[in-house]
Structure 1
Amino acid sequence: MTPIRTSIVITALSTLKKLTLTAALVISSVAAHASEQHKNVNIMPTWQQTLTQAKGETVYFNAWGGSQEINDYLLWANTQLQHRYGVTLKQVKVTDIAETTQRLLAEKTAGKNDHGSVDMVWINGENFRSMKQNGLLFGPFTHQLPNWKYVDKSLPINNDFSEPTQGLEAPWGVGQLVFIYDPETLKNPPKSFKALLTLAQQHPGKISYPKPPEFHGTGFLKAALLELTTDKKALYQPLQLPKDQALFDRVTAPLWHYLDQLHKVAWHQGKQFPAGTAETVQLLDDQQLLLAITFNPNAAAAAIANGNLTDKAKTYAFSAGALTNIHFLAIPWNANAKAGALVAINFLLSPEAQARKADTTVWGDPTILSPQAFKQLPATYNKPSFTPYPSISEPNPTWLAAIEHQWQLRYGN
């Protein structure tokens, strides 16, 4: 995703007092070519004005709906936002946020530059890149959030899958691709993808992964490719198809060879795949699988706390480390409730909301705040503590759609 360079000229303002948030926070249209750079220029009101404007607004929040724990957390957040600020947070559950990207693109094409259907999105990676390139994001806005001061700036929050964030999305949590296992069933879990194949061959039908493009499934493919390919550097450079087709074929060949072997001995012989991480956890608990997959390093503890796994379950990463990314919150350029979305995001970045999110009895998603941020909380709160696994950076997002497409051609049917 290329940086955005757009100027917006705001004329004929009679008085500043008449300037509402909707009129003030204007984002430009995307240029005809995605490669052209833009810069959004916004006139921002004070935070008190934002709070006043937000009162009574309903924020339609498009977010992955595949986890009951996350859905319950967002219900709690809605209750808090209604009580404190008069803002309603309504989760719109989606299977893949790419669906939201396509909806916003359709609104952009139709010239619907205000009163949009989406007010807030949970995104990262290729969806952020696509929204940014197509001028679908409002901002920059992060610098005006009062709780921005608590964010741990040592985390890789300035880039999203190698794409500069430029204040167009606010970090919400940390994701690391890890595995869950039961030590009583699997005493020596595999520490690499090659060892995983050996395990699958020794225990036919006991290994699987979510079906791409579900993001855990795509994460599995990316992590496997990073281990198996002989040209890792290429994965961190932009891919341009069809020009780079030969490069793509060469770099990804080891992945397809690996999956051909894995699927022969996988769950349902690779003809069927779990729908997502929750199903892999259920299959692990049912002893149909030896491993579950998740982007949450605290997932095992959270599943134990919620009664979804035996109390012996553990989370671990492969020896090379864990594919690591930050997940973010953003606001579409044509959001109907921009003020409400700003208030909602600011609340979700608060020490209170982040501590609850990190609690393994609630969600267990690692915090993006610095440890000092939680000193103000009462002793009754569980103070988040997170020691990350060694990090493996995400590939350039231009590779993801091509990998998913090739997977679909080979195994999707």
Structure 2
Amino acid sequence: MRTPMIAALAAALATTAYADDWQSTLEAARGQTVYWHAWGGDARTNGFIEWVSEQTQEQFGVSVEQVKLSDTAEAVTRVISEKAAGRDEGGAVDMIWINGPNFLTMKEQGLLHGPFVADLPNAQYLDLSDGAAAAVDFTVPVEGMESPWRLAKFVFSYDSARVETPPASMADFVSWAEANPGRFTHPDPSNFMGATFLKQALVELAPERGALQQPVTEDSYDATVAPLWAWYDALRPNMWLGGEAFPENESVQQQMMNDGEIDIAMSFDPASTAAAIEQGLLPESARVFVPEGGTIGNISFVGIPYNAANREGAEVVANFLLAPATQAHMQNIEVLGSFSVLDPSKLDAEGQAAFDALPTAPALPALEDLGATLIEPHPSWMTRLVDDFAARYTR
């Protein structure tokens, strides 16, 4: 169903004088079905993608089929296999929700279509300057090879009915757990949420944070992670089940918090706590906190494989995701609640008004409440960290 905001967007699009090349893209895309390979572990995100398909079908004749992944590497592996088999056209993967190590792999192996972002009409609303969040993915320059679509920032949630004062820093988790044994855990680091928890601690505890912005080396690794493992060894005995087992993912951890089994959970979506309360998945007393020094944040991107069968349709969908009306709809707590990737200074009055009119909720933090955004380490650090954790604690 077309909302007034989206109807206005469609009208604006219909009267826009597109450049000839973009008009050609629109014509070629009509009738295509874009197979968007995206993590399928969040019902609200899945619902948003369904809405995107409805809108792009209505406005451009382009439909979207979500191929739900448990791990983005599944889609990357498929593209790698197709290239090895010489399938350089008509690939099965049209678009991937991609970040970090997976983007680096595809970029280095020449598996991505592009650069294409600068050709998207709605890229005018992005800050694509050198070093800007929309131009860098886990320290790797994007160079137009993937398009941003949602902002992610690591946050913790806690039950304020049981926790008066949550940890003020990652270091403080040790003393908090000592005072509240068995009331904290984290997802298994084989899941990106558990890995992010370790990275958040690493960024705070590393003696030389700048080393994390460079590819990991044997010399830099040992010295940089030593404080992390010392911290974790002190934390682990007072964790849920003595740190011998972990919830599979954030959804399982959230359920544990809702059941009163633990008091703190975590997410890469600042709006997820408010959304979970609305859905009855967390108690009304749940609130969000971040360590005083800030938390890791990044932008989620979509990439188009070099051999995508429906490349034009994928570009149309990527462009639609950047429309101010789409971004405002996505940021609505009643829809998804993900913060926009657009540069507010580039919005006109109508675009800004769409964001100003969004509803709020007691457990929904304002952007200024989320503290500083810490830069993600180079992707090689996450890979090494997860392997090291498994060798130390789960094997």
Provide the residue aligned with 2:347 in structure 1: 373
Find the residue that maps to 1:121 and give its secondary structure: strand
1:182 aligns with 2:159: yes
Contact 1:359 1:382 in 2 (8 A): no
Which of 224, 228, 241 matches 1:268? 241
Provide the residue aligned with 1:130 in structure 2: 105
Question: How far apart, CA to CA, are the structure 1 residues paired with 2:133 and 2:354?
Answer: 30
The one-letter amino acid of 2:320's match is: F
Contact 2:191 2:249 in 1 (8 A): yes
Q: Deviations over 1:91-129 (max 9, x none)?
A: 111122122222222222222111111100111111111
Question: How far apart, CA to CA, are the structure 2 residues paired with 1:364 and 1:412?
Answer: 35
The total of aligned residue pairs comes to: 366
Q: Provide closer, same or farther for how the CA distance between residues 326 and 359 of structure 1 changes in structure 2, counting only shifts above 3 A.
A: same
Q: Deviations over 1:327-364 (max 9, x none)?
A: 11110101010011011111111122211111111111
Q: Provide closer, same or farther for how the CA distance between residues 147 and 256 of structure 1 changes in structure 2, counting only shifts above 3 A.
A: same
Contact 1:306 1:361 in 2 (8 A): no
Which of 196, 213, 217 matches 1:219? 196
Provide the residue aligned with 1:397 in structure 2: 379
Provide the residue aligned with 2:318 in structure 1: 345
Q: CA deviation at 1:322?
A: 0.9
1:200 aligns with 2:177: yes
1:258 aligns with 2:240: no
Q: CA deviation at 1:190?
A: 0.2
Provide the residue aligned with 1:19 in structure 2: none
Contact 1:142 1:167 in 2 (8 A): yes
1:313 aligns with 2:247: no
Deviates more, 1:175-184 or 1:263-272: 263-272
- Structure 2, unmatched stretches of 5+, are 1-18, 359-365
Q: Deviations over 1:247-284 (max 9, x none)?
A: 32222122222223322221222222122222222221
Q: Deviations over 1:213-241 (max 9, x none)?
A: 321111111111122222322222222xx
Which of 265, 287, 310 matches 1:292? 265
Question: How far apart, CA to CA, are the structure 2 residues paired with 1:99 and 1:411?
Answer: 26
Provide the residue aligned with 1:157 in structure 2: 134
Question: How far apart, CA to CA, are the structure 1 residues paired with 2:109 and 2:59?
Answer: 35
The one-letter amino acid of 2:388's match is: Q
Q: CA deviation at 1:299?
A: 2.0
Question: How far apart, CA to CA, are the structure 2 residues paired with 1:316 and 1:378?
Answer: 27
Provide the residue aligned with 2:168 in structure 1: 191
TM-score (norm 1): 0.83
TM-score (norm 2): 0.87
Question: How far apart, CA to CA, are the structure 1 residues paired with 2:289 and 2:22?
Answer: 42
Deviates more, 1:309-318 or 1:339-348: 309-318
Provide the residue aligned with 2:10 in structure 1: none
Q: CA deviation at 1:298?
A: 1.9
Question: How far apart, CA to CA, are the structure 2 residues paired with 1:218 and 1:380?
Answer: 35
Deviates more, 1:392-401 or 1:230-239: 230-239
Find the residue that maps to 2:312 and give its secondary structure: helix
Deviates more, 1:150-159 or 1:393-402: 150-159
Question: How far apart, CA to CA, are the structure 1 residues paired with 2:59 and 2:79?
Answer: 30
Which of 32, 52, 65 matches 1:57? 32
Find the residue that maps to 1:127 and give its secondary structure: helix
Q: Identity of aligned pairs, percent?
A: 38
Which of 206, 218, 223 matches 1:229? 206
Q: CA deviation at 1:84?
A: 1.6
Contact 2:98 2:300 in 1 (8 A): yes
Q: Provide closer, same or farther for how the CA distance between residues 246 and 379 of structure 1 changes in structure 2, counting only shifts above 3 A.
A: closer
1:75 aligns with 2:57: no
Which of 149, 153, 166 matches 1:172? 149
Contact 1:303 1:309 in 2 (8 A): yes
The structure with the greater share of residues assigned to helix is 2
Contact 1:116 1:334 in 2 (8 A): yes
Question: How far apart, CA to CA, are the structure 1 residues paired with 2:128 and 2:164?
Answer: 38
Question: How far apart, CA to CA, are the structure 1 residues paired with 2:33 and 2:394?
Answer: 38
Question: How far apart, CA to CA, are the structure 2 residues paired with 1:343 and 1:48?
Answer: 10
Find the residue that maps to 2:157 and give its secondary structure: strand
Q: CA deviation at 1:382?
A: 6.4
Q: Provide closer, same or farther for how the CA distance between residues 374 and 63 of structure 1 changes in structure 2, counting only shifts above 3 A.
A: farther
Find the residue that maps to 1:137 and give its secondary structure: coil
Q: How large is the RMSD of aligned CA atoms in angstroms?
A: 2.1
The one-letter amino acid of 1:133's match is: E
Find the residue that maps to 1:222 and give its secondary structure: helix
- Structure 1, unmatched stretches of 5+, are 1-43
Provide the residue aligned with 1:34 in structure 2: none
Question: How far apart, CA to CA, are the structure 2 residues paired with 1:373 and 1:303?
Answer: 30
The one-letter amino acid of 2:325's match is: E
Provide the residue aligned with 2:73 in structure 1: 98
Q: CA deviation at 1:380?
A: 8.1
